[in-house]
């Protein structure tokens, strides 16, 4: 072994080691702190426009300090970029850290202190799983030919359409996961299971993070499950519209008489993620926007059987589509409490 190799090996095994830095290279000097028992450290770099750029994976030798080398040449000069660090052990998140740096042609170093995650936590995902979703689609697949995996444990996977675009940057609270981008010309995700037909006054909640590319005066569906039977239209869903905003709705028809109630919330932002949650507790519709209750509507009507297929991003396969990014979609067979909605939002924006 060469003397230089021995020096490098000694450096890597020594806490606080600072590796040599060459032009065009970024070194992320990670202080694992309370997460020093990690078996893996991941680094993701994203630019100010939140464009997904390659993630660098690095397996840690188990020390308290890591110096991770990243090829800086692929990143734009003069623009601030974000460095996210995730430390994991045994499949769970042990800690996370974040820093920013402005690339140049010189060598750059950035120090990231990893703060320990709460015991048993894996960030936003764990926050959602605490509330036992019926369906939980993270939408982080590589291609639409893959199923949209249900991470709830209930095995209710979704089906992408061929034109769905995957790999979009997701919400801040999940820096190592991605989102799906849909258009209003027929892209959507379909989830089919009889447990999704909430009959009578059965409670439910719909949750998603959405970043619409535009808003207009046409209703565009974030969620919809609908059916036409002898009595008329039966459905529930979440809709966005430039004038009305975002709202949770239930359509119930009896003897061909349609009855439509909505809980109306403020319009979501265009071009950035908004957290939207609609709940029904058997007596009241509620609409939450960015963790806060925006509206309620009394509704004790009993729903007739409808359908088993819930569309995400469209009214049906090719109608009234939502255009924009969708992330961290969840459906619950109970009404989320206000404090739990707020907790999801805070975790999602890294507060």
Identify the pLDDT of residue 93: 64
Taking the C-alpha atoms of residue 239 and residue 241, their distance in angstroms, rounded to an integer, is: 7
pLDDT at 167 over 80: yes
Identify the pLDDT of residue 172: 85
| pLDDT mean over 307-318 | 86
Confidence of residue 328 (pLDDT cuts 50, 70, 90): very high
- For residues 278 and 73, the model is more confident at 278
Q: What is the DSSP letter of 243?
A: T
Q: Which helix (H) or strand (E) holds 10?
A: helix 3-12
Identify the pLDDT of residue 292: 96
| Structure token pair of residue 123 | 């960030």
**Cβ(21)–Cβ(13) below 8 Å:** no
Identify the pLDDT of residue 27: 80
Identify the pLDDT of residue 1: 40
- Give per-residue pLDDT as tens, 91-135: 556 777 888 888 777 777 888 888 765 543 457 888 899 899 999
Identify the pLDDT of residue 225: 94
Mean pLDDT rounded to a whole number for the chain: 82
- Give per-residue pLDDT as tens, 265-305: 999 999 999 999 999 999 999 999 999 999 999 999 999 88
| pLDDT mean over 129-146 | 92
pLDDT at 19 over 70: no
Indicate the burial class of 117 (C-beta count within 10 angstroms; 0-12, 13-18, 19 or more).
buried
Identify the pLDDT of residue 92: 58
Confidence of residue 17 (pLDDT cuts 50, 70, 90): low
Tokens 């255009």 belong to residue:
323
- For residues 138 and 120, the model is more confident at 138
**Predicted TM-score of the model (pTM):** 0.72
Domains defined along the chain, listed by start: 3-116 (2.60.40), 124-348 (2.60.120.200)
* Interior/surface letters 278-295, b for 16+ CB within 10 angstroms, e for the rest: bbbbeeebbbbbbbebbb
- For residues 227 and 148, the model is more confident at 148
Identify the pLDDT of residue 63: 66
Report the relative pairing of strands 25-31 and 108-113 from DSSP bridges.
parallel
Lowest model confidence (mean pLDDT) among 20-24, 93-97, 345-349: 20-24
pLDDT at 195 over 90: yes
Identify the pLDDT of residue 268: 94
* Strands annotated E in 38-124: 40-47, 52-58, 65-71, 81-89, 92-101, 108-113, 115-116
């Amino acid at each position: 072994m060469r003397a230089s190799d021995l020096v490098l090996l000694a450096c890597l095994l020594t806490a606080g080691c600072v590796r040599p830095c060459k032009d065009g290279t970024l070194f992320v000097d990670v202080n694992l702190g309370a997460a020093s028992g990690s078996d893996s450290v991941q680094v993701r770099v994203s630019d100010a426009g939140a464009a997904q750029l390659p993630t660098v994976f690095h397996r840690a030798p188990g020390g308290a300090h890591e110096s991770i080398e990243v090829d800086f040449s692929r990143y734009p000069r003069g623009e601030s970029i974000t460095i996210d660090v995730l430390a994991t052990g045994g499949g769970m998140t042990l800690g996370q850290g974040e820093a920013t740096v402005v690339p140049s042609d010189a060598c750059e170093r950035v120090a990231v202190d990893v703060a320990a995650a709460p015991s048993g936590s894996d960030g936003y995902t764990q926050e959602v799983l605490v509330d036992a979703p019926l369906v939980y689609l993270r939408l982080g697949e590589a291609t639409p030919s893959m199923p949209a995996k249900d991470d709830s444990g209930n095995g209710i996977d979704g089906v992408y359409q061929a034109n769905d675009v995957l790999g979009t940057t997701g919400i801040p609270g999940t820096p190592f996961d991605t989102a799906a981008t849909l258009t209003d010309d027929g892209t959507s995700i379909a989830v089919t299971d009889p447990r999704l037909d909430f009959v009578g006054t059965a409670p439910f909640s719909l949750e998603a993070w959405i970043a619409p590319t535009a808003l207009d005066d046409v209703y565009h569906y974030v969620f919809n499950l609908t059916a036409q039977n002898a009595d008329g239209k039966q459905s529930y869903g979440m809709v966005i519209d430039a004038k009305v905003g975002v709202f949770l709705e239930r359509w119930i028809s009896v003897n061909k008489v349609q009855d439509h109630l909505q809980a109306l919330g403020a319009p979501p932002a265009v071009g950035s993620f908004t957290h939207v949650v609609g709940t029904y507790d058997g007596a009241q519709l509620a609409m939450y926007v960015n963790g806060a209750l925006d509206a309620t509507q009394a509704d004790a009507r009993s729903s007739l059987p409808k359908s088993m297929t819930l569309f995400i991003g469209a009214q049906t396969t090719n109608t009234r589509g939502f255009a924009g990014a969708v992330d961290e979609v969840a459906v619950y067979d109970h009404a989320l409490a206000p404090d739990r909605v707020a907790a999801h939002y805070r975790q999602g924006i890294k507060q």
